[in-house]
Structure 1
Amino acid sequence: MEHRNVRLNSGYDMPIIGMGTYALSDKECYDSVSAFLKTGGRLIDTAYMYGNEASVGRAIRNSGVPRNEIFVITKIYPSQFRNAKAAIDEAIGKLDIGYIDMMLLHHPGSGDVAAYQVMEQAVQDGKIRSLGLSNWYVKELTEFLPQVDITPALVQNEIHPYYQENDVIPFIKEHGIAVQGWYPFGGRGHTAELLGDSTLVAIAKSHGVTSAQVVLRWNLQKGVVVIPGSSNPEHIRENQDIFGFSLTDKEMSRIRQLDRDEKHDWY
């Protein structure tokens, strides 16, 4: 928390608060990433399926921020697993930022181990620095990990107060793998309900912050890196401003009681 980074098992440091770009169109993505970088944000998450890798890269190149200060995550989709080398090269070309800090498999699928092994070679070739997985849980990890040489540095899953993964997170960490949460605010169609939850509203009021800031701080105190998405410059700034307060053990316990095991996406 003090350094606002986590040291990955790959040896690289990754910021513990970032920005997701899911569902952002070309201009929205460019403007949002640009605003994020101006506020001091340095971790950006994108993917082949988001269709905005080029926008992310353009915003980075035009930001004036040194490349080595920025950490970029992208993902290859199961439809690309059969030709993972071409997928990696396509991502590198679209981003056009020299190298990829981290590449994930977007979710399990046919040929995922073989695709990951191609990514392992890309690490040896200097194209990618760290590898990871998205939407892998205990069963999937138990089957997957013995089949690869490079232990994933990150597992990125849906995590929010209504879907907390309290059994999955410790399992991932026991393997020396960092955890990152997407949909921290519950996802589209669920955000208003989550952020309006009376428990979160009350905790936020006691600290003079917003419910969104409480949710992000809760994640960090659970040891979960967060990548909230937004196209609103004020919200982008607000999402970074979560280091001026901390939640008590009692408040963390109250939020834990909100868990409904309610997943909001199919992954």
Structure 2
Amino acid sequence: MTSTPSVPTITLNNGATIPQLGFGVFQIPPAETKDATLTALEVGYRHIDTAEMYGNEEGVGQAVRESGIPRDQIFVTSKLNNGFHAPEDALAAFDTTLATLDIDYLDLFLIHWPLPAVGDYVDTWKAMEQMYAGGKVRSIGVSNFQQHHLNRLRAETTVPPAVNQIEVHPYLTQEPLRAYGAEHGIATEAWSPIAQGGVLGDPVIERIARRVERTPAQVVLRWHAQRGDIVFPKSVTRSRVEENFALFDFELTDEDVTDISTLNKDERTGPNPDEFNYIPS
């Protein structure tokens, strides 16, 4: 099997490339993760997004190794567990992630949450810079960082984040934060891209889906792609995995993209990063 050229890639600020469409494994039970990931790789995905806190890194690694696809053709992301923000803990956690995945390197490693009341995420980022310098992670980034968090990193650290993975969907379009990222060379990755299904019954999205003869989910994922974001829908159902992959043989009009964007309500499905300080027990 070879990489599928139908998925565009985005060049990150350090020259690395990342497939714009990936497969997310959030909330997939560990026992099901290997098979779900193998299915995604069979369908054509070459970008897998996991995290220490998901508890399923092992299954992702098994799928990558058993897929028969060369390692350099699969982009693997994981994220730092909230309990390991102290610099020495972060460095150890990264080594644990590599061991759990049982792969030689990561393509991308992220700080999962800024945790503003827990510790200094700037110190955590400096540990991430050490990981990057060590060569076992190709790119480093952040997740759920707001503009003021990113401003501190710009002022106090050396390596800019390659990506910021944030909640984005038609009811939370995140225009100012996305624009900030674009201005400073930080790619936006969109989690909860269909608002956990909450946007799929919207009349605007349904109308566009009827016209282009696609599902509402495909329309929303295509909206993400045309806005230039990296997106990784999750499903354990093969037919849905295939459906989510079929995004690059149709286009929305500029009017469609605008109509969907104007649905914004600044409505989150997940926590506010300025208030979220959860540490797993």
TM-score in same-fold range (> 0.5): yes
Give the counterpart of 1:232 among 226, 231, 237.
Answer: 237
Contact 2:145-2:166 at 8 Å conserved across structures: yes
In structure 1, distance between residues paired with 2:81 and 2:120: 11
Amino acid at match of 1:264: T
- Is 1:217 the counterpart of 2:222? The answer is yes
In structure 1, distance between residues paired with 2:185 and 2:92: 30
| Structure 1 segments (4+ residues) deviating >3 Å | none
Amino acid at match of 1:142: N
For residue 26 of structure 2, give the secondary structure of its aligned residue in structure 1: coil
What corresponds to 2:132 in structure 1? 123
How far 1:144 moved relative to its partner? Answer: 2.3
Give the counterpart of 1:89 among 95, 98, 114.
Answer: 95
In structure 1, distance between residues paired with 2:7 and 2:221: 17
In structure 2, distance between residues paired with 1:54 and 1:63: 14
For residue 85 of structure 2, give the secondary structure of its aligned residue in structure 1: helix
How far 1:3 moved relative to its partner? Answer: 6.3
Matches within 5 A, 1:24-43: 24-43=28-47
Residues matched between the structures, number? 263
How far 1:77 moved relative to its partner? Answer: 2.2
For each residue in 1:162-212, what CA deviation from the matched residue of structure 2 results, as whole angstroms up to 9, or x when unmatched? 10001110111100111100000102xxx1x31111111110111111111
Contact 2:153-2:160 at 8 Å conserved across structures: no
What corresponds to 2:10 in structure 1? 6
What corresponds to 1:247 in structure 2? 252
Contact 1:78-1:112 at 8 Å conserved across structures: no
What corresponds to 1:103 in structure 2? 109
- Is 1:153 the counterpart of 2:162? The answer is yes
Please give the TM-score of this superposition, normalised by the length of structure 2: 0.91
How far 1:121 moved relative to its partner? Answer: 1.4
For each residue in 1:132-172, what CA deviation from the matched residue of structure 2 results, as whole angstroms up to 9, or x when unmatched? 00001112111222222111100000000010001110111
What corresponds to 1:142 in structure 2? 151
| Cα RMSD, aligned residues only | 1.3
Contact 1:105-1:133 at 8 Å conserved across structures: yes
In structure 1, distance between residues paired with 2:6 and 2:217: 21
Give the counterpart of 2:75 among 50, 71, 74.
Answer: 71
How far 1:78 moved relative to its partner? Answer: 2.6
Contact 2:6-2:248 at 8 Å conserved across structures: no
For residue 174 of structure 2, give the secondary structure of its aligned residue in structure 1: coil
In structure 2, distance between residues paired with 1:261 and 1:20: 23
In structure 2, distance between residues paired with 1:220 and 1:50: 25
In structure 2, distance between residues paired with 1:135 and 1:155: 7
In structure 2, distance between residues paired with 1:45 and 1:79: 19
What corresponds to 1:174 in structure 2? 183
Unaligned 5+ runs, structure 2? 274-281
What corresponds to 2:279 in structure 1? none
In structure 1, distance between residues paired with 2:72 and 2:29: 26
Amino acid at match of 1:66: P
Contact 2:7-2:21 at 8 Å conserved across structures: no
How far 1:122 moved relative to its partner? Answer: 1.5
For residue 181 of structure 1, give the secondary structure of its aligned residue in structure 2: strand
For residue 44 of structure 1, give the secondary structure of its aligned residue in structure 2: strand
How far 1:114 moved relative to its partner? Answer: 1.7
In structure 2, distance between residues paired with 1:46 and 1:263: 21
In structure 2, distance between residues paired with 1:28 and 1:160: 26
Give the counterpart of 1:112 among 109, 121, 124.
Answer: 121
For residue 31 of structure 1, give the secondary structure of its aligned residue in structure 2: helix
What corresponds to 2:278 in structure 1? none
Amino acid at match of 1:118: A
